[in-house]
Amino acid sequence: MSLQTTPAQADQSLGSLAVQIPGATAVFRRLKLDFCCGGQQSLDAACAHKGLDAAAVLSEIRALQEQKAAPEAPAPAELIDHILQRYHEVHRQQLPELIRMARRVEAVHRDHPQVPKGLADHLESMERELLDHMAKEEQILFPLLKQGGHPMVVHPIGVMRHEHVSHGAQLERLAELTQQHQPPTGACNTWQALYAGTARLSDDLIEHIHTENNLLFPVFEGQARH
């Protein structure tokens, strides 16, 4: 997919802008505009909901269009392999260590007013849901997609999209528990490393969902409509 040649418009969806304009995802993340789970809403609507100046955001997005074109989109099989290596494997490595650090911080600093009480339990809940979600993709959905898809594949894709919404809600709760991933002044190294890790997990999971929702799934949903 090449860079969008016509100027970005305020009535375009966040998902389409994220796909077509390199760098847009960083802008959306900074402004906390949900381009993965909420990618179907327009830039205008999303800005209105957040109380942001849509014209200013649009101007920033359009400035990115002057940069070099995006590379061609990979074939679905290549994209699936990328998702498995870049996201599935990474999440499986990230979460056990984050849970371990969260348990330690909650125990050692239990009397600190900003201790993230309940963070380890929340991370364990995220891990359970993510492991189940990724297993369904690896065992059922992705093999179907690698075979070229099937008219009925829209149904498991719909399930995955629904679960992505749940992941998005979990990320919002993760940000609340960690004070937007900002450790308190004087936090120990483990606490600092924990929040650096939760921030990375959040960024990775947002990009993971975006890649599936806005790049991979539409290829097969479009086939099913024809």
Give per-residue pLDDT as tens, 55-113.
999 998 888 776 544 456 679 999 999 999 999 999 999 999 999 999 999 999 999 99
Cα–Cα dist 18/61, whole Å:
10
| Cβ atoms 61, 43 nearer than 8 A | yes
Tell me the CA distances in angstroms from 119 to 116, 126, 167, 218, one per residue in order. Answer: 6, 10, 15, 34
Q: What is the pLDDT of residue 5?
A: 58
- For residue 152, pLDDT over 60 is answered with yes
Q: Which residues contact 144 (CB under 8 A, 6 or more apart)?
A: 150, 153, 156
Residue 13: phi and psi, rounded to 5, are -75, 150
pLDDT of residue 73: 65
**What is the mean pLDDT of the segment spanning 39-51?**
92
Taking only Cα atoms into account, the Rg of the chain, rounded to an integer number of angstroms, comes to 19
Q: What pLDDT score was predicted for residue 186? A: 92
Question: How many whole angstroms from its chain centre is CA 14?
Answer: 13
Name the β-bridge partners of 225: none
**What pTM did the predictor assign?**
0.75
